[in-house]
Structure 1
Amino acid sequence: MNVYSKLGGAALAVAVAISSTLLVAGPAGAAKPTRIKGSVTSESGTPLVGIKVTTLADPTGTGQWVEVDDALTGLSGGYNVGKLDDGIYRVRFDDPAGTYASEFYDDAATIEAATPVDLTNGGMPTLAVARLAGAAHLVGTVTGSDGAAIAGAEVTAYVREDTAWTAVTTVTAGADGTYDVGGLSGGAHTLGFHDPVTGASEFWSDRVAIADADTVTVPSAERYDAVLATPLPPTTPVTPVTPTTPTPVAPVAPVVTPTAPTAPAAAVVAIKRPRIKGVAAVGERLKVTVGTWNPTSVTRTVQWLANGKKIKNATKNRLRLTDKLVGKRISVKVVASAAGRTPVTVTTRRTKRVVD
């Protein structure tokens, strides 16, 4: 016979001997026993055959849930369980084949969250249809931070009940650190990992407290691998080293090798400076000559000036004189450049004042 003990929020089945007096869930002077009936289907509504339906009672009121009676569902998925005395019961549904997830009435993951079935007034109640979800699995591997598998690591699955996490089941990782938590119903779950040897623990994913754990939505095809911190080996204290007085060393004068100055690039030379040709009068055109240069091939830029100031848009070899230039003396600034040479700038002599 099994007793369900509330331990850390989980329903933990432990085999113990129970005296026959504990099988009485109701008062000693109760009337004739009664039964509970109902049916079990898959989530899609298909009747499930061979599902084990178990009634549980807490005769001492201390959270020690005792299995009272059980029955298997028939071809139509129906069940009729127990010769039950008056009292308050819980009902659990299990699939011996492991195809469907276990649950408590009514659609609860834990016995604490189960809906009570009240038989204090006798009768033969028919419960709502129990629709079982497929048995979900969460799998993964537990290793240390050194990469070694943690054999025997304890992996606990928790289900969300209202705003808190409730432990559902715990499995032990194999020699290679792998684990498989099965029989889970769908919905919000999380995982806890514990190394019983080192005491290292964490929750999914890499969380210190379960309140901060990340949610795992079941069913899930993902792997949930955990890496627990591996304790560092004790360190050997280091004997302090007595500092020694350094022996002074005479400074060595740095050897500086003088760098030969780089000769500046030769400048373009104006052998014959450009000059202005033409009459300084309104309506006339002035022209600037090319000049003669060394090297002979140069690139020239031209800027016409009036009394030494730039004339807007006057950058060609010819300039037409307008009324705005009357009374001003005209000159040209020429910049000559060539590859490998420093450019040179020359300015022509000024003309006479422009007349109307």
Structure 2
Amino acid sequence: MARTRTSTRRSVWLLTVVLAIAGLTSAGAVTTTASAAEPIHITGTVTDNGGLPVAGAEVQAVVYCSCEGFHTAGETQTAEDGAYDLVIPPITESYFDHNDFLVHIDAPAGDHAPEWYDNGVSVFRATSIHVPDGRTATGKDVQLAPGSHITGTVTGPRGAPLAGAVVVADFADPNDGGWADTGFPTRTADDGTYDLGPLPASTYRLSFRAPGYSEQRYPTVVVVGEGETAAGRDVSFRPVRNLKRPAIVGKPVVGRKVSATSGSWDPQRVKRSYQWLVDGKPVAGATHASYRPRVRDLGKKLRFRVIARAPGHPAATATSRGKTIRTATPTATTRIGVRPAR
């Protein structure tokens, strides 16, 4: 199965709010100015779960802005011995938390789970590092856990693989008791397979998007442990299919309410909307399961159309056979003559 590494650095940038105000770049990074103040340093070593140094790991510090969002304050990479020295130039803008930083570590070259210092799966679980101006915070060591993976295949109509579908794993967010707005994204390969990972061990909710289809979610949450792979999380985007077409019940008669059945569909749980047609033209407001033909409908063909929708599936339409609208059959009456009494 082709593997595309999940872009965990994107989870940092997705949190960045691009603001057109002085002191911010268009990429959302903190702009610093020449100052007599000394830069801040955060130093440490990044190792794997066996204690071996991780070279080339990307280390990034973000700072919170009261004007909303997190912004990049500095970034670096680890050396061959796993050591890093994250240099953060002086920050002068008052709307930033100048001395409190959240640090993200990712090692693209290995199968290591990314993390927010210290052992955080998201920015909301990160441990803030407080550093006074011009000082150095030492010993901020990180041991990266083995990466976890979620894998599966995304298919379309008739089981054909869907290449380029977007798959996102959102993690449980304790900040509000719900789910994080940003997660770990990837795309399916040419054969429709995907590999979300390496990921931190956590509980995830999967969502899938593909051009021409509505968003679909995996029916259950996915719990994946450290270094584990949750395989077989497959999803199929397929059109809704009509198995039995709608049908008008009885004969349509002017002035009498006529009803219709909506047919049967695959999948069974679809949301139905209705439209009555007279001589092929939609009748304004006739969007319920019954209709009362009008005098001007006399002699015309009445049909009942159903539009069925289901999450993750393109909508489908089915229309009943037409029936001619008639007048009510007159009731035969017998005239009885009564002779007047003599």
TM over 0.5: yes
SS at match of 1:182: strand
When residues 58 and 181 of structure 1 are mapped into structure 2, their CA distance, relative to the original with a 3 A threshold, is same
SS at match of 2:125: coil
AA in 1 matched with 2:321: V
1:82 is matched with: 87
Equivalent position to 1:222, from 231, 235, 244: 231
Matched, 1:107 2:119: yes
Query: Which residue, out of 140, 148, 154, partners 1:142?
Result: 154
Residue of structure 2 aligned with 1:164, choices 178, 191, 209:
178
Q: CA deviation at 1:37?
A: 0.6
Whether 1:181 and 2:189 are equivalent positions in the alignment is no
Q: TM-score, normalised by structure 1?
A: 0.54
Contact 1:4 1:12 in 2 (8 A): no
Matched, 1:231 2:240: yes
SS in 2 for 1:234: strand
Distance 1:184 1:39, change over 3 A: same
Corresponding position of 1:73: 79
Correspondence 1:281-320 to 2 at 5 A:
none
Structure 1 gap ranges (5+): 206-212, 244-356
* Equivalent residues of 1:153, 1:172 under 8 A apart: yes
Which whole-Å deviations, capped at 9, do the CAs of 1:311-353 have from their partners, x for residues lacking one?
xxxxxxxxxxxxxxxxxxxxxxxxxxxxxxxxxxxxxxxxxxx
Pair 1:18-2:25 in alignment: yes
Q: Deviations over 1:62-109 (max 9, x none)?
A: 21422523132342x222121432623221212131332222211112
Give the distance between the partners of 1:216 and 1:5, measured in 2 at CA.
Answer: 19
Could you tell me which runs of 5 or more consecutive residues in structure 2 were left unpaired when the two chains were aligned. 1-8, 92-97, 242-315, 327-342
Decide whether the 8 Å contact of 1:45 with 1:131 is kept in 2. Answer: yes
Q: Is this contact kept in 2: 1:85–1:119, CA < 8 A? A: no
| 1:18 Cα deviation after fit | 2.4
Cα distance in 2 for partners of 1:136, 1:48 equals 18
- The reply to whether residue 195 of structure 1 matches residue 210 of structure 2 is yes
TM-superposition CA deviations, 1:285-321 (whole Å, max 9, x none)? xxxxxxxxxxxxxxxxxxxxxxxxxxxxxxxxxxxxx
Q: Which residue of 2 aligns with 1:43?
A: 49
How far the C-alpha of 1:157 sits from its partner, in A, is 1.1
- Residue 116 in structure 1 maps to residue 122 in structure 2: no
Matched, 1:94 2:106: yes
Looking at structure 2, the residues matched to 21 and 235 of structure 1 have their Cα atoms a distance apart, in angstroms, of 50
- Flag the 1:101–1:85 CA change in 2: closer, same or farther, 3 A: same
Rg: which structure is higher? 1
Aligned-pair identity (%) = 27
Instruction: Tell me the amino acid that sits aligned with residue 35 of structure 1.
Output: H
Asked if 2 retains the 8 angstrom alpha-carbon contact of 1:39 and 1:73, the reply is: no
- Secondary structure of 1:159's counterpart equals strand
Q: Which has the higher contact order (CA 8 A, sep 6+)?
A: 2
Query: Against the structure 1 CA distance between its residues 96 and 123, is the aligned structure 2 distance closer, same or farther, given a 3 Å change threshold?
Result: same
Task: Supply the distance in 1 between the matched residues of 2:73 and 2:119 (Cα, whole angstroms).
Answer: 19
CA–CA separation in structure 2 for the residues paired with 1:144 and 1:13: 35
Secondary structure in 2 matching 1:235:
strand
Gap change, CA 1:214 and 1:38, over 3 Å in 2: closer
Q: Distance in 1 between matches of 2:90 and 2:319?
A: 69
Please report how far the alpha carbon of residue 30 of structure 1 lies from its aligned counterpart in structure 2 after TM superposition: 7.2
- 2:25 is aligned with what amino acid? I
Distance 1:22 1:146, change over 3 A: closer
Amino acid at match of 2:150: L
Contact conserved, 1:24 with 1:85, CA < 8 A, in 2? no
The separation in 1 between residues aligned to 2:28 and 2:121, in whole angstroms, is 29
Distance 2:201 2:35 in 1: 42
Secondary structure of the structure 2 residue equivalent to 1:112: helix
8 Å contact kept, 1:55–1:82: no
Question: 2:57 is aligned with what amino acid?
Answer: I
Relative to structure 1, is the Cα distance of residues 173 and 96 closer, same or farther in structure 2, using a 3 angstrom cutoff?
Answer: closer
1:332 aligns to what?
none
- The letter of the residue matching 2:84 is Y
Aligned length: 229
Tell which deviates more after alignment, 150-159 or 54-63.
54-63
